[in-house]
Amino acid sequence: MTRVDGRKPDELRQVTILRGWQEHAEGSALISAGKTRVLCAASVTTGVPRWRKGSGLGWVTAEYSMLPRATNTRNDRESVRGRIGGRTHEISRLIGRSLRACIDLAALGENTIAIDCDVLLADGGTRTAAITGAYVALVDATRWLGRPAAITTSIAAVSVGVVRGEPMLDLAYTEDSTADTDMNVVCTGADGFVEVQGTAEGAPFDRAMLDRLLDLAMFGCAQLTEIQAEALRGPAPAGPARPEGTR
Amino acid sequence: MTRVDGRKPDELRQVTILRGWQEHAEGSALISAGKTRVLCAASVTTGVPRWRKGSGLGWVTAEYSMLPRATNTRNDRESVRGRIGGRTHEISRLIGRSLRACIDLAALGENTIAIDCDVLLADGGTRTAAITGAYVALVDATRWLGRPAAITTSIAAVSVGVVRGEPMLDLAYTEDSTADTDMNVVCTGADGFVEVQGTAEGAPFDRAMLDRLLDLAMFGCAQLTEIQAEALRGPAPAGPARPEGTR
Amino acid sequence: MTRVDGRKPDELRQVTILRGWQEHAEGSALISAGKTRVLCAASVTTGVPRWRKGSGLGWVTAEYSMLPRATNTRNDRESVRGRIGGRTHEISRLIGRSLRACIDLAALGENTIAIDCDVLLADGGTRTAAITGAYVALVDATRWLGRPAAITTSIAAVSVGVVRGEPMLDLAYTEDSTADTDMNVVCTGADGFVEVQGTAEGAPFDRAMLDRLLDLAMFGCAQLTEIQAEALRGPAPAGPARPEGTR
Amino acid sequence: MTRVDGRKPDELRQVTILRGWQEHAEGSALISAGKTRVLCAASVTTGVPRWRKGSGLGWVTAEYSMLPRATNTRNDRESVRGRIGGRTHEISRLIGRSLRACIDLAALGENTIAIDCDVLLADGGTRTAAITGAYVALVDATRWLGRPAAITTSIAAVSVGVVRGEPMLDLAYTEDSTADTDMNVVCTGADGFVEVQGTAEGAPFDRAMLDRLLDLAMFGCAQLTEIQAEALRGPAPAGPARPEGTR
Amino acid sequence: MTRVDGRKPDELRQVTILRGWQEHAEGSALISAGKTRVLCAASVTTGVPRWRKGSGLGWVTAEYSMLPRATNTRNDRESVRGRIGGRTHEISRLIGRSLRACIDLAALGENTIAIDCDVLLADGGTRTAAITGAYVALVDATRWLGRPAAITTSIAAVSVGVVRGEPMLDLAYTEDSTADTDMNVVCTGADGFVEVQGTAEGAPFDRAMLDRLLDLAMFGCAQLTEIQAEALRGPAPAGPARPEGTR
Amino acid sequence: MTRVDGRKPDELRQVTILRGWQEHAEGSALISAGKTRVLCAASVTTGVPRWRKGSGLGWVTAEYSMLPRATNTRNDRESVRGRIGGRTHEISRLIGRSLRACIDLAALGENTIAIDCDVLLADGGTRTAAITGAYVALVDATRWLGRPAAITTSIAAVSVGVVRGEPMLDLAYTEDSTADTDMNVVCTGADGFVEVQGTAEGAPFDRAMLDRLLDLAMFGCAQLTEIQAEALRGPAPAGPARPEGTR
Q: Select from C193, C195, C198 the Cβ nearest to the Cβ of D193.
A: C198
Provide, rounded to the nearest whole percent, the portion of chain A with pLDDT above 70: 96
Q: From CA F127, how far away is CA F199, in angstroms rounded?
A: 15
Q: Which residues of A121-133 are buried (b: 16+ CB within 10 A; e: fewer)?
A: bbbbbbbbbbbbb
Judged against a pLDDT cut of 50, whether residue D245 lies above it is answered with no
Read off φ and ψ for residue F218, nearest 5 degrees. Answer: -65, -40
Contact F84 A79 (CB under 8 A): yes
Contact C74 B114 (CB under 8 A): yes
Does the CA dihedral F2-F6-F8-F12 come out positive or negative? negative
Q: What does the pLDDT look like over D44-101, one tens digit per residue?
A: 999 999 999 999 999 999 999 999 999 999 999 999 988 888 899 999 999 999 999 9
Q: Which residues of F does the annotation place in the binding site for phosphate? A: 87, 125-127
Looking at residue A245, its pLDDT comes to 46
Mean pLDDT of chain E: 93
Mean pLDDT score, A151-156: 97
| Contact indicator for E155, E99 with CB cutoff of 8 Å | yes
Q: Letter for the amino acid at B9?
A: P
Q: From CA E45, how far away is CA E113, in angstroms rounded?
A: 6
Q: What does the pLDDT look like over F79-116, one tens digit per residue?
A: 998 888 889 999 999 999 999 999 999 999 999 999 99
Looking at residue C1, its pLDDT comes to 60
| Contact indicator for B22, B115 with CB cutoff of 8 Å | no
B122 vs C contacts (CB less than 8 Å): 24
Mean pLDDT score, F55-81: 95
Judged against a pLDDT cut of 50, whether residue B89 lies above it is answered with yes
Q: Which residues of E12-48 are buried (b: 16+ CB within 10 A; e: fewer)?
A: bbebebebbbbbbbbbbbbbbbbebbbbbbbbbeeeb
B127 in a known ligand binding site? yes
Ranking A95-99, B232-236, C188-192 by mean pLDDT, the lowest is: B232-236
Mean pLDDT of chain D: 93
Q: Ramachandran region of residue B234, left (φ > 0), alpha (ψ -120 to 50) or beta? A: left
Judged against a pLDDT cut of 60, whether residue B78 lies above it is answered with yes
Contact B72 C240 (CB under 8 A): yes
D205 vs C contacts (CB less than 8 Å): 192-193
D196 vs C contacts (CB less than 8 Å): 183, 196-198, 210
> C110 vs chain B: nearest CA distance in angstroms?
18
C127 in a known ligand binding site? yes
Q: What does the pLDDT look like over E157-211, one tens digit per residue?
A: 999 999 999 999 999 999 999 999 999 999 999 889 999 999 998 889 999 999 9
Judged against a pLDDT cut of 70, whether residue A242 lies above it is answered with no
Looking at residue E246, its pLDDT comes to 44
Judged against a pLDDT cut of 90, whether residue B197 lies above it is answered with yes
Contact A67 F35 (CB under 8 A): no
Ranking A215-219, B77-81, C103-107, E194-198 by mean pLDDT, the lowest is: B77-81
Mean pLDDT score, B97-106: 96
Q: Which H helix or E strand runs over D143? A: helix D126-144
| Contact indicator for C114, C26 with CB cutoff of 8 Å | no
Q: Select from A85, A97, A187 the Cβ nearest to the Cβ of B199.
A: A97
Neighbours of chain F (3+ CB pairs under 8 A): A, E
Contact D196 C191 (CB under 8 A): no
Q: What does the pLDDT look like over F153-209, one tens digit per residue?
A: 999 999 999 999 999 999 999 999 999 999 999 999 998 999 999 999 888 999 999
Q: Distance of CA A133 to CAs A21, D231, F100, F208, Å? A: 12, 73, 38, 53
Judged against a pLDDT cut of 90, whether residue F234 lies above it is answered with no
Contact E204 F198 (CB under 8 A): no
Residue among C208, C87, C107 nearest C151 (CA) = C107
Mean pLDDT score, B154-158: 98
Judged against a pLDDT cut of 60, whether residue E245 lies above it is answered with no
Contact B206 A192 (CB under 8 A): yes
Residue among F208, F198, F193 nearest F157 (CA) = F193
C114 vs B contacts (CB less than 8 Å): 68, 74
Q: Select from B86, B92, B193 the Cβ nearest to the Cβ of A198.
A: B193
Q: Select from B23, B45, B74 the Cβ nearest to the Cβ of C121.
A: B23
Q: What's the number of CA atoms in the CB half-sphere (13 Å) around residue D89?
A: 16
When scoring E73, E183, E196 by the number of chain F Cβ atoms within 10 A, the one with the most, hence best to mutate, is: E196
Q: What does the pLDDT look like over D87-139, one tens digit per residue?
A: 999 999 999 999 999 999 999 999 999 999 999 999 999 999 999 999 999 99
C-alpha A144: how far from its chain's center?
20
Contact D207 C193 (CB under 8 A): yes
Looking at residue C202, its pLDDT comes to 81
Other beta carbons within 10 Å of A232: 18
Q: From CA C112, how far away is CA E129, in angstroms rounded?
A: 48
Read off φ and ψ for residue E33, nearest 5 degrees. Answer: -130, 100
Read off φ and ψ for residue E169, nearest 5 degrees. Answer: -100, 140
Domains of chain A and any CATH numbers? 15-70+85-231 (3.30.230.70)
DSSP letters along A18-36, please?
A: EET-STTSSEEEEEEETTE
Instruction: Compute the CA torsion angle C70, C71, C77, C83 (nearest 10 deg).
Output: -120
Query: Which is more confidently placed, D127 or B243?
Result: D127
Looking at residue A241, its pLDDT comes to 66
Q: From CA A127, how far away is CA B185, in angstroms rounded?
A: 21
Within 8 A by CB and 6+ apart from D188, the residues are: C204, D101, D102, D153, D154, D155, D194
Other beta carbons within 10 Å of B180: 18
Q: Select from A65, A82, A118 the Cβ nearest to the Cβ of F83.
A: A82
| Contact indicator for B39, B28 with CB cutoff of 8 Å | yes
Within 8 A by CB and 6+ apart from F65, the residues are: A77, A79, F78, F88, F116, F117, F118, F119
Contact residues, chain D to chain C, C-beta under 8 Å: 83-87, 89-90, 92-93, 97, 101, 153, 183, 187-188, 190-200, 203-207, 210, 214, 218
Q: From CA B95, how far away is CA B91, in angstroms rounded?
A: 6
Provide, rounded to the nearest whole percent, the portion of chain F with pLDDT above 90: 87
Question: What is the band of D242 on the pLDDT scale with cuts at 50, 70, 90?
Answer: low
When scoring C182, C185, C196 by the number of chain D Cβ atoms within 10 A, the one with the most, hence best to mutate, is: C196
| Contact indicator for C244, C25 with CB cutoff of 8 Å | no
E207 vs F contacts (CB less than 8 Å): 191, 193, 214, 218
Q: Distance of CA E152 to CAs C158, E136, F10, F206, Å? A: 64, 13, 33, 17
Neighbours of chain C (3+ CB pairs under 8 A): B, D
Judged against a pLDDT cut of 50, whether residue C103 lies above it is answered with yes
Judged against a pLDDT cut of 80, whether residue F241 lies above it is answered with no
C87 in a known ligand binding site? yes
Q: From CA F132, how far away is CA F217, in angstroms rounded?
A: 13
Contact E195 F199 (CB under 8 A): yes
Q: From CA D221, how far away is CA D154, in angstroms rounded?
A: 10
Q: Which residues of C82-112 are buried (b: 16+ CB within 10 A; e: fewer)?
A: bbbebebbbbbbbbbbbbbbbbebeebbbbb
Judged against a pLDDT cut of 80, whether residue A239 lies above it is answered with no
Pairing mode, strands F111-121 and F59-66: parallel
Query: Which is more confidently placed, E16 or D246?
Result: E16
Q: Letter for the amino acid at D7?
A: R
Q: From CA B69, how far away is CA B80, in angstroms rounded?
A: 14
Ranking A72-81, B221-230, F216-225 by mean pLDDT, the lowest is: A72-81
| Contact indicator for D78, D84 with CB cutoff of 8 Å | yes
Mean pLDDT score, B17-43: 95
When scoring B69, B84, B115, B123 by the number of chain C Cβ atoms within 10 A, the one with the most, hence best to mutate, is: B69
Question: What is the band of B241 on the pLDDT scale with cuts at 50, 70, 90?
Answer: low
Q: What's the number of CA atoms in the CB half-sphere (13 Å) around residue D134?
A: 34
Q: Letter for the amino acid at C159?
A: S
Q: From CA B78, how far away is CA B81, in angstroms rounded?
A: 5
Mean pLDDT of chain B: 93
User: Which strand ranges, in their side-by-side order, compose the sheet holding F166-169?
Assistant: E166-169, E155-163, E181-188, E193-200, F193-200, F181-188, F155-163, F166-169
Looking at residue F245, its pLDDT comes to 45
F198 vs E contacts (CB less than 8 Å): 193, 195-197
How many separate helices (H) and strands (E) can be counted in chain E? 6, 9
| Contact indicator for A82, C82 with CB cutoff of 8 Å | yes
Mean pLDDT score, E31-60: 95
Question: Greatest CA separation found in chain E?
Answer: 58
Query: Which is more confidently placed, E117 or E203?
Result: E117
Mean pLDDT score, E129-156: 97
Q: From CA C182, how far away is CA C128, in angstroms rounded?
A: 12
- Give the angle E38-E39-E43 at the CA atoms, nearest 5°: 140
| Contact indicator for A162, A214 with CB cutoff of 8 Å | no
Mean pLDDT of chain A: 93
Read off φ and ψ for residue A213, nearest 5 degrees. Answer: -65, -40
- Can you tell me the ipTM of this complex? 0.93
